[in-house]
Structure 1
């Protein structure tokens, strides 16, 4: 070991402060990438609520607005894993560039059609296309920065910090996105926010695609083109064989277990969203719904940033169990909440559970998926959460109309309890984590959740 170089184990034992940890995370990619990726994921939050308000205003029907928004969400859920798979096979640069431009055009066409009074089936189709073309900048940013950390032999602490920062940016985007829509609706028209979303995804999506870190997950032969080296054909063949093995390797079973947990977390959030909307309307204060969401999101973001302070001895499986149990307990008071002040208090406290659940779910996914399918794993995890939320918003909304806000909150609380059962029934692993320090390209340790991986013959 060179003189003056600290021992790796010593570095890991010296738990740095939270701010220092986040400085290390930002140093992995530079300060520009987090900014671009944050602005690039804002359109996803804008178009979900923006589609409801815009179509409701132009058509005069809340049911039509909800139907179009559901089609948009389902389009995103259906195509999200495919976008991740393309990024794994062809690199993020080309895939994000194409989908960002497609998404900008799709949002623009959808907005223009709504303003021109297009028929409902056309709006549903264009809404689904706007959702299906989402470039998935959030989950792809997770995959990119985690890959940077692993290639620099970073330990699990830094990888977990990446998840915390990325989840916090998601939370903040889902606070600012609806806020932008609400402001546009007050100032002029929700379509203004939709046009802003089209602009942001075109500019920031392009910036995210062309950022130098996009080469982190590029196929090796893409970096070697034009060098004229005699080793190029051999390196290309080896890379193609490695990627072929990765494509044949099935996802380990624990990945599907985590996805079930994320679907249930989406159901929890969807039930809470429907209940909050219904209760504020019942109290004659529908304008307060957005502020209640914001209070929940701010609390979630604060707790998410503090997750890196947890000691390493508290493993991901234990965190998952504690987070789901806490979500189940803190969601129960919502069922009996009947006042606006009580709603603010209960929802703000309850907001503390979302970021730990999301961060842990993405962390477990990152430990389990094969390196060659990291982007696909992240986008699928994100789609599982969004899908559970989208479907539940529609179902719980109807329940709230028929039986009151408590019914919607009960749906979410039941989902949280089921998520805890799933986490509790999962047996702990023997390895205790991913063995990433020997080979950054190797598949991680499958013992994180104690379920053996499967491979095709």
Structure 2
């Protein structure tokens, strides 16, 4: 654990890590919170699913644009206006849901709330890259960030459901609103680790996605996101079919816990194999591991399959973030990290939607068909474009970005 202690002991790190954690919990609560809120307001799961998907899609599309602005003008100048807009739109959504507005109106406002969500997680990674770039500690810092993501996505649903059950989804999202405003404002006020604004000189119509290897990683991260989304649906439907619906939470916790352990172990290792090859291997192993869930006809097998998948997914995510930092210039770090974050969110929404349709038509076990297919295709894609994931010798900010090939 010395490598983690060395990273956490970086001067001033806790000053931005603590408020960032507070701001990131609501990020993990938003999609499920909107689902519960709109279903509570309209009585329709269909309307709730559309509203939650709208929030996820706008978050995935708008997030990188705010990341670009943060790179150019500095994090505080983007975060403060963004959290004001988010507070206004999420507050409006709570008022409209309480007054039982139409499903269309709720979906539109949900999209606005998702698109205005502060991208604090990407900005934390940017600060680590600014503080530790070239020191050999950056891989461990990104492992720490993936562990933090797992922790927030484990704690947030528990907190959200507890408040929703005890009071109402309105109160649950109101608590999330207070946390995101407080955490974001405190994070923006901390200057330690925040890079200075830099003029963006990427000469390409496609921007960061046209840069060497970034689009490949974004597509791979969509596939990784489908694992999270489809497992949520598959585990829930399978445990209900087996007559043990209450086991869904602990089984998904086993997935998250195994990912937590896998991330910790991965971050302590020093690899001789290059990161592009490690990424192919991790995604390929994930595809193989998730096949077991298709045939998991009992609760113990579901526990085992979920744990195997979780143990492998964290190394894949960590490697992807480490790779993208080597492929892009410092002036577009936040935008690049936000593309990967948004890709995971888009994958979660896609995986949950496709898995839900498969469950409705063919049965619960078919939800588990999504992860091996999507990750298998992603592993093949990364293998085909492996050369594009090897850093170019010239990483100057003004170089012309390469295509994904």
Q: Does TM, scored on the shorter chain, surpass 0.5?
A: yes
Residue 384 of structure 1 corresponds to which residue in structure 2?
343
Distance (Å, rounded) in 1 between the aligned partners of 2:363 and 2:250: 21
Q: How does 1:75-90 map to 2 (within 5 A)?
A: 75-90=58-73
After TM superposition, the structure 1 stretch with the greater mean CA deviation from structure 2, 268-277 or 136-145, is 268-277
| Match for residue 368 of structure 2 among 409, 416, 423 | 409
Separation in 2, partners of 1:350, 1:401: 24
8 Å contact kept, 1:101–1:201: no
- Residue 217 of structure 1 corresponds to 195
Structure 1: how far apart are the matches of 2:262 and 2:30?
A: 26
Tell me, in whole angstroms, the C-alpha distance in 1 between the residues paired with 2:11 and 2:387.
Answer: 31
Q: 2:98 maps to what in 1?
A: 115
Q: Which runs of 5+ in 2 are unaligned?
A: none
Structure-2 residue corresponding to 1:256 = 215
For residues 435 and 313 of structure 1, the distance between their equivalents in structure 2, rounded to whole angstroms, comes to 20
Note the alpha carbon deviations across 1:224-249, whole angstroms, 9 max, x for none. Answer: xxxxxxxxxxxxxxx6xxx2534657
Residue in 2 that maps onto 1:50? 33
Q: How does 1:260-339 map to 2 (within 5 A)?
A: 260-339=219-298
Matched, 1:170 2:129: no
Change (3 A) 1:318 1:244: closer
> Alpha carbons of 1:294 and 1:315: their partners in 2 closer, same or farther (altered >3 Å)?
same
Hey, what does 1:245 align to over in structure 2?
201
Deviations 1:160-213 (A, max 9, x none): 111111111111111111111121133222222211110011100001111122
* Partners of 1:85 and 1:415 in 2: CA distance: 29
C-alpha distance in 1 between matches for 2:177 and 2:150:
20
2:80 corresponds to 1:102? no
Distance change (3 Å), C-alpha of 1:116 and 1:316: same
Give the unaligned 5+ runs of structure 1. 1-17, 220-238, 447-451
The aligned residue for residue 226 of structure 1 is: none
Match of 2:179 in 1: 200
Aligned pair 1:143/2:121, yes or no? Answer: no
Name the SS of the counterpart of 1:27 in structure 2.
coil
Question: In 2, are the aligned partners of 1:265 and 1:388 still within 8 Å (CA)?
Answer: yes
The count of corresponding residues between Structure 1 and Structure 2 is 400
Which of 21, 32, 50 does residue 38 from structure 1 map onto?
A: 21
- Aligned-residue Cα RMSD (Å) equals 2.4
Give the structure-2-normalised TM-score. 0.92
Please tell me whether Structure 1 or Structure 2 has the larger radius of gyration of its CA atoms.
1
Q: Distance in 2 between matches of 1:274 and 1:372?
A: 39
CA contact 1:29–1:145 (8 Å) conserved in 2: no
Q: Distance in 1 between matches of 2:354 and 2:3?
A: 44
Partner of 1:228: none
Residues 26 and 34, structure 1, Cα contact 8 Å, conserved in 2: no
Which whole-Å CA distance do the structure 2 matches of 1:97 and 1:51 have between them? 23
